[in-house]
Amino acid sequence: MSYTNIISSKSLLFDKRLDPELYQKEYLNLISKLKKNNSQSIGRIANKIYRGKLPSYDDKGKIAVIKSGLVMDSFIKDKYDFTNESFLKKFPDIEIKFLDILVNSTGRGTLGRSSIFLRNIKAVADGHLTLIRDCKDSSPFILNLFLQSAFGQFQINKLYRGSSGQIEIYPEDIANIIVPNIEKSKAQLIEKNYKKILLEYENSLNEYFDIENELYDRFSFNFEEKFKLKSFKVSQKEILNSKRLDSNFYKPLYKKLDKYFLINNSFKLIDLCESPYRGVQPIYDDNGDYNVINSKNIKKTEIDYVNAKKISQSFYNLDENKKFRIKKNDVLMYSTGAYVGQTNIFVKDEKFIASNHVTLIRPKTDKVNSFYLSLFLNSKFGLCQTDKYASGSAQREIYPENISQYNVLIPHNKDSKIDNLWMKKISERMNKFFKSKIEFYTKLKYLIKEYENSVSDLKIKDYLN
């Protein structure tokens, strides 16, 4: 259905925008209603709104770089790259301060995500993030919830610029977003609950790495050893057996790790699991009822279920797609791209399919604990083997036939029996950790809905027709 809307030249000159989205009736009606609600623009609420800057990266630097890919809805992942003090001295304004709001400002699918910075670290924002600082008499917590609400996302989706995959929202656009007013008592209660769940999330950040460190305590291996050799010899027999000509495959570190696996009676992954295999190329459907896990959903410490893309019920139910349906406690590996080898366990009882860039690993429960296997493959022990077997340079790949040959260390006790008790404790801690992550998203979703319901006389659904 199409319609026309007459806009005065005065409005066009004031907004300096010709995008038809800004002059659609539903958007204009919402803005008109918000203005009657004693609402204010973010430009009036915040003292500073500006973009970060592309940093000079430094592996030896100690200042964290918060990139757009780290900023999710209400939380910031902690897998940082780094820059140095000299860069910060040159561009002091991009240092992130406590309680700054970071808004992801580029890219389809990521634009509009926002989070409050609650870390006690020195950090800078990269050029794809907008910083909102010093909210004067307003709460940054309430403002961030607004940005994630339907009211905030509706305006962001109208104000961004560009039509290709590289869409942008600029600081001046964010400054024009109008924030509805809500009763002080309601705002205080919502803020209190929001702070509580954010604190729970921040306190859980190190739990996964604490569990991983228990694995390293159990199996002591020096991954940081520096090898003085600038070149190394490989026998013809080794090349014929491996059928690999890439020098990376024969690094001294990997040879030493192979010996460690041999001494410690490791198992081949294929002996512990059904044969690994890739998922299927999905046909996405924004209105679908079921979900897809693709490589981007597999994070270092969790699977991102919230941002999983959709597929139709009919695609899910196809007989040829039956084998790609994910079962609870399947282990999923990121198999194509930047973070190849990242692995995590699927803990839901819901209908998902694995995409073609994900390897599906189904452990034999009488052979290995699924949580332990996920932890091992996602540790340096697994990632080193991924680095060894991966193919390609620009677009790295790890294939199921290579994953099948990974060595897996199984803990034994002093009686040389498999230490199932230790693995059970690890499993319980991991399960608790993953459940806490899922609860976080559930609470957050409820709180956003509570915020939307607290905006008096405004029902967002009236503007989404």
The confidence band for 458, taking pLDDT boundaries of 50, 70 and 90, is low
Let me know: does 102 contact 96? Beta carbons within 8 Å: yes
Q: pLDDT digit string (tens) for 342-382?
A: 999 999 999 999 999 999 999 999 999 999 999 999 999 99
Let me know: does 351 contact 316? Beta carbons within 8 Å: yes
Residue type for position 74: S
pLDDT for residue 250 is more than 90: no
User: What are the sequence ranges of the domains in the chain?
Assistant: 9-204+446-463, 220-410
Mean pLDDT of 175-179: 92
Q: pLDDT digit string (tens) for 253-308?
A: 999 999 999 999 899 999 999 999 999 999 999 899 999 999 989 988 889 898 89
User: To the nearest 10°, the Cα dihedral for 414, 418, 424, 430?
Assistant: 100
Fold observed for domain 220-410: Adenine-n6-DNA-methyltransferase TaqI; Chain A, domain 2 (3.90.220)
Q: What is the CATH number of domain 9-204+446-463?
A: 3.90.220.20
Q: Is the dihedral of CA 426, 295, 249, 239 positive or negative?
A: positive
Q: pLDDT digit string (tens) for 30-45?
A: 777 777 777 899 999 9
Alpha-carbon distance of 171 to 186, in angstroms, equals 29
N- to C-terminal Cα separation, the chain: 11
Residue type for position 26: E
Alpha-carbon distance of 398 to 383, in angstroms, equals 11
Within this chain, domains 9-204+446-463 and 220-410 share the same CATH topology: yes
